[in-house]
Amino acid sequence: MKYSYIALSGVLALAAVDAYAQIHQTQVADSAALERIYNLNPIVVTGSGHHQRLKSTATPVRMLSGQEIAEQGITTFDGALTRLLPQVSMAPNSMGSFLRLNGLGNKYILILINGQKLSGDISSNIDLNRINMARVKRIEVLDGAASSLYGSDAIAGVINIITDQPTQNLISVTSDTRISGKGQLTESVNLDIYAHGFGSYTSYSHDRADSYQNSRMEYVKGSDTETQPTLAPLFTGYRSDLLSQRFTYSPGKRLAFNAGINYSAKITDRPNTNPDISGGTDYEMRYRGLRWNVGGIYKFNSRHSLQADFTADNFKYGREYDVETKNNKVGDYVQSKKQRTLEGQLKGILGLTSRSTTVIGADWRRDQLQASSGNIDQHTYILAAYAQHEMKLTEQLNATVGARYDYHRQFHSQFTPKATLMYSPGLFNFRATYSAGFRAPGLDELYYHYYSVNRGKPQIIFGSQKLNPEKSQYWALNAEYRTNQLAVSLTGYVNNISDMVIRQDLPVDEQSLALLQQEFPEMNTDEASKLERYSLYRNSDKGRVEGLLLNVSANLFPGFSLSANYAYTYARTKSAGKWEVLDRSIRNTATLAANYHHAWRHYALNVNLNGRFQSKTYYNAYENAPGFGIWNLHTTHSFHYLRWAIIEPSIGIDNIFDKTDSRIDSSLRKYALFSPGRMIVAGVRIKFRR
């Protein structure tokens, strides 16, 4: 609990300087420095489904601004979340990124882009490279169950990426480049054109990194002392490209249209198979994504609006061979999985009285999955209707009630209510929240009949059509103090989940092996001799997550900002009458960031020091991964000698104190820290604007 003492001490210290900061704010003449003071009461949309000031929303939302992300030199989505949010953890691998929020994994987290779901995953690992960080205006994170507004999957929380589309008459070209060690390179170019209500926003980004190891050795199977060299990387390298185009048109103040398309391509870069050293692979994983959407909004007046959106999201991946095998030549591509999601949304925001806001909506979604290795060609659909009414009962008391009805093709009717109460005396807010969540099992969990061989080891997974939907009951209490100089928020929550879907590993004996060989005749004798277990999806008894979130942000004096965040998470699952700590969960995590900005005539300096600290990561079937603390330093230098151009070189150090996890790899070890150690980071941003 040492992190909680540090965080609480910080709150007391910041409260002591809050009064000084408010007085000193008016005594500063350096207006350029003031431009970089954080807005501690921004506008958000995710918590309530309509735009509100953060202080006014009845459901607490954590907002990461594009400014915060840029100041820390972050160019990836996983970097933005893990450096700024302690309740988020990430484990990258060749199959994508295993994201965890408030103790719960990928499948319980709903990721949205401008309110529309991002689909496409690889073995439940989201391909986060499909998110265009060059276009991020802000990231809003809603903790806890939120199915009353967002439907299936919103059990751990909702992450909504809001993109930036300037609406001032301009022509703007922006180029961003960032390089560091281990072949890490990010480049992006944006072209923005806006005139007379028409906007065109074009973006291209390229992201790449090399595979790397922190230890070149592994234990020989069955031994705790004998080691041998391995090629298996701790971090899997990749090359990724993303091209996006978005158009907007506003013929008047009341009506606006938008349309966009995004194409993404990614391929891993792993060491090839070597007969003399283990850990190599015969193929790379190749991913392709195509996503497009159209939509519009009509504002009857400032209180009434109607919005419609349609999104199509296609994602596929497979194996591209770079080593000749028995069945494949170099360059062959074998598709493993293809997903397609179609979604239509209709939402109305109504100010029926001067003291209330009502949100009503309807959704339709169709999911399709084709998986050759899993022997699946299935689809499902969901029809939904929802309503939420937010009312100001008194000057200091607000109440929100809402409910959603979903009809799922396989699981039929699902009902998820929500109720919140907010009491706001002066600069304080006190909130109480109840919300329900549900998650419909995926098509892979329902229908998988999967057989694959990876590095010579066979893998078998069975789905089950007898699965029940997962459901959650989320309770939270929040206390908040917020001014222009200081914001402190403390949230305690409990999230109870029933019928959790797990993948159970079962041992293989002579009888089960014979049955498995009948099910998968393509499995040869050598592969069958290496089969130790097979897996099937089933409902576990239940899960429970208890947590505490503490967020502090302060503008201590003009040009200097400080933020401190702490998350305590106790996540457990109960199966066969036995409680166990949830796999990959972390008990204590904290993030800290200090930012200083000052401007002179034609030059501005920004210095950011940030750190992440976490206790050990729990692995039930493996050795727990040790905790760590990482500090990063980033500086940006802005030159404004020309009115139509800005040049911003940057330089920094990632992992200042060279912290790494260099344990020798073994079948009993998993990792939480994936850093290769200390690295110099350099970049440059060039912006032309007319």
Q: Which residue has the tokens 């591209």?
A: 320
- Structure confidence at residue 27 (pLDDT): 34
Strand 560-575 relative to strand 588-599, pairing: antiparallel
Per the CB < 8 A criterion, the answer to whether 658 and 686 are in contact is: no
At 128, is the secondary structure helix, strand, or coil?
helix
pLDDT digits (tens, 9 = 90+) for 159-174: 999 998 887 778 999 9
- Structure confidence at residue 7 (pLDDT): 39
At 531, is the secondary structure helix, strand, or coil?
coil
Residue 508 banded pLDDT, cuts 50, 70, 90: confident
Q: Output the DSSP codes for 248-259.
A: EE-SSSSEEEEE
- Structure confidence at residue 188 (pLDDT): 95
- Structure confidence at residue 20 (pLDDT): 35
- Structure confidence at residue 221 (pLDDT): 79
Q: How far apart, in Å, are the Cα atoms of 462 and each of 428, 520, 621?
A: 52, 12, 21
Give me the sign of the Cα torsion angle 444, 450, 454, 458.
Answer: positive
Residue 95 banded pLDDT, cuts 50, 70, 90: low
Instruction: Determine phi and psi for 303, rounding to 5 degrees.
Output: -110, -15
Of 262-271, 331-340, 451-460, the poorest mean pLDDT is in 451-460
Residue 94 banded pLDDT, cuts 50, 70, 90: low
Q: Which domains, from first to last, does the chain contain?
A: 2-689 (2.40.170.20)
User: Measured between alpha carbons, how far is 616 from 624 in angstroms, rounded to an integer?
Assistant: 7
Q: How many helices and strands in the chain, by DSSP H and E?
A: 8, 40
pLDDT for residue 316 is more than 80: yes
Q: What is the CA radius of gyration of the chain?
A: 25
Q: Output the DSSP codes for 538-562.
A: EE-SEEEEEEEEEEEEEEEETTEEE
At 571, is the secondary structure helix, strand, or coil?
strand
Question: In terms of pLDDT, which residue wins out, 312 or 58?
Answer: 312
pLDDT for residue 19 is more than 60: no
